[in-house]
Amino acid sequence: MKNLLKVENLSVAFPFDTGDKKAVIDMNFELHEHDFVGLVGESGCGKSVAAQTIMGLQHPKAIIKSGSIELMEEEIIHSSPEKWQQLRGRKISMIFQEPMNSLNPLMKVGRQIEEVLEIHFDFSKERRKEIVVDTMKKVGLRNTEEIYEWYPHELSGGMQQRIMIAMALVANPRVLIADEPTTAIDATIQTQILKLFKDIEDLYRGAVLFISHDLKLVSKICKRIMVMYAGRIIEEGDINAIINTPKHPYTKGLLKAIPDYKKRGQPLYNIPGQVTPLKDRIEIGCPFYKRCESRMKICREVFPKTSDFGNQKVCCHLYDN
C-alpha cells in the first residue's frame, strides 16, 4: 500500500533551566492507505506534542532536535507557513480535543467548514455549500441545511465534534490525526463518535492516527496500536497482539486498569506512581523504571533495544534474550 506518512527518529524538546528536555524521543512509524492506527498513553507521555509537530503546530518553545517527517514522500518538517497553508486541510488534517475552543464562536459552522474548500479549491459558492452539506450528512448530522446557519454555541458537544470532523474531512486529506476526539463528551455521545469513526473507515481512503489515553476505546476502532510512555514508543503491534499478549509491563498495566464488570466489588487497579514531569526526566535507562513491578538493575542504566515478535515489537529488558 502507498506510504502516506513517514516519521523517522523524531525528537522534540523544551527548554528548562537545567537544559533541554525531550518530550518526544526517537519516534518512528509509518501510515499507509487505509491504516487506522492508535497512539496510546497517559497524559504527559508526549502524544499531543508529536501530533502537533507532525501538523507544524508545535509550541513556539518546542525545539525539533532531530528527525524527518515525510507526507506522501515530501519532507515537511521545516516547511514555511505558506507551505503549511497548502498542506493543512488538503493533505493532512487534525481533529482537536476541545471543539468549543477550536471553533470560531462568531462564525456560522457551515461557513467555517466551507473556508477549508475556499482555501484549497476554485469552486463556486454554490458548489462549496453543496459539498459542505453533503459532508455534514456523512458525519451523521441531520437537518444540515438548518445547522449550516447555526453558531457553535447553538450545538451540543457531540454536534460540535461532528462539525470538527466534517471540517477535517471536507477536502479529503490523505492523513487524518484525531487527538483525543472523545475526551470532552459524555459516554453516550462518545459511543456515537466511535461508530462514526468506524463508518469513516469504509468511506475514507486515507490513513487515520487516533490518539487517546484510553486503550480500551482505541482497541474498538484501530487495527494497530502504538503505546507511548515518557516520549518513547515502547510497544507496538496489531490490535489482537497488543490486547491478548501484551509484552511491556506498562501495556499490561494499562490493560489491567480498564474497568470490567467481571471485577465488580474489587478495587480498581492503578499503575503505581505517575508519569515523571518533563522537567525532571533523564534519558538514561527505561523511563518506566520507577513504576515497573518487574524492574531490574539494567533497566535503570540502559534503555532496552527493540525485541521483534513478528506482529509485535517491544522495548523491554525482559525480552533481551
Q: Give the DSSP letter string of 241-272.
A: HHHHS--SHHHHHHHHTS--GGGTTSPPP--S
Q: Which amino acid is at 188?
A: T
Residue ranges of domains in the chain: 3-91+173-261+268-315, 103-172
Q: Are 132 and 117 in contact (CB under 8 A)?
A: yes
Q: What is the pLDDT of residues 230-259, one digit of tens each?
A: 999 999 999 999 999 999 999 999 999 888
Picking from 7, 12, 8, the residue whose alpha carbon sits closest to that of residue 65 is 12
Q: How far apart are CA 265 and CA 246, in angstroms?
A: 25
80 phi, psi to nearest 5 deg: -75, 160
Q: What is the pLDDT of residues 183-193, one digit of tens each?
A: 766 777 778 88
Q: What is the mean pLDDT of residues 136-149?
A: 92
Q: Are 47 and 39 in contact (CB under 8 A)?
A: yes
Q: What is the pLDDT of residues 158-191, one digit of tens each?
A: 899 899 999 999 998 999 999 988 776 677 777 8
Which class for 316: exposed (0-12), middle (13-18), buried (19 or more C-beta within 10 A)?
A: buried
Q: Model-level pTM? A: 0.92
Fold of 3-91+173-261+268-315: Rossmann fold (3.40.50)
Picking from 278, 223, 239, the residue whose alpha carbon sits closest to that of residue 23 is 278
Q: Are 93 and 165 in contact (CB under 8 A)?
A: no
Report whether pLDDT(99) > 70. Answer: yes
